[in-house]
Amino acid sequence: MMMKPLLITCLSVLASNETQRNVVQIDHIVLAVKELESGVRQFEEKTGVKPIYGGSHPDRDTHNALVSLEGGIYIEILAPKDDLVEVPEFFKGFDQLTPVGFAISVSDMVNLHERVKKLGFKTNGIEAGSRHTPEGKLLKWELLLLNDPNLFMNPFFISWSDDSSHPTKDQSVECTLKTLQFTTPNKKDVKKIFKTLETEVWGLSIELGSTSLSVSINTPKGEATFK
DSSP label of 90 = G
- Rounded to whole angstroms, the Cα distance separating 135 from 142 reads 22
| Tens digit of each residue's pLDDT (9 = 90 or more) over 68-88 | 999 999 999 999 998 888 888
| Tens digit of each residue's pLDDT (9 = 90 or more) over 10-55 | 333 233 333 333 458 999 999 999 999 999 999 999 999 999 999 8
* Domain 18-226, classified CATH 3.40.50.2300, yes or no: no
- For the chain, domain boundaries: 18-226
Which pLDDT value is given to residue 74?
96
Residue numbers in the chain where pLDDT is lower than 50:
1-22
Task: Give the phi and the psi of residue 113 in degrees, each rounded to 5.
Answer: -60, -45
Amino acid identity, position 169: K
Which pLDDT value is given to residue 151?
63
| Cβ atoms within 10 Å, residue 67 | 28
Among residues 158, 176, 123, 119, the alpha carbon closest in space to that of 11 is found at: 158
Does pTM top 0.75 for this prediction? yes
Exposure class string for 93-129: b at 16+ Cβ within 10 A, else e: ebeebbbbbbbbbbeebeebbebbeeeebebeeebeb
Which pLDDT value is given to residue 23?
55
Exposure class string for 5-37: b at 16+ Cβ within 10 A, else e: eebbbbbbbbbeeeeebebbbbbbbbbbbbebe
Which pLDDT value is given to residue 21?
39
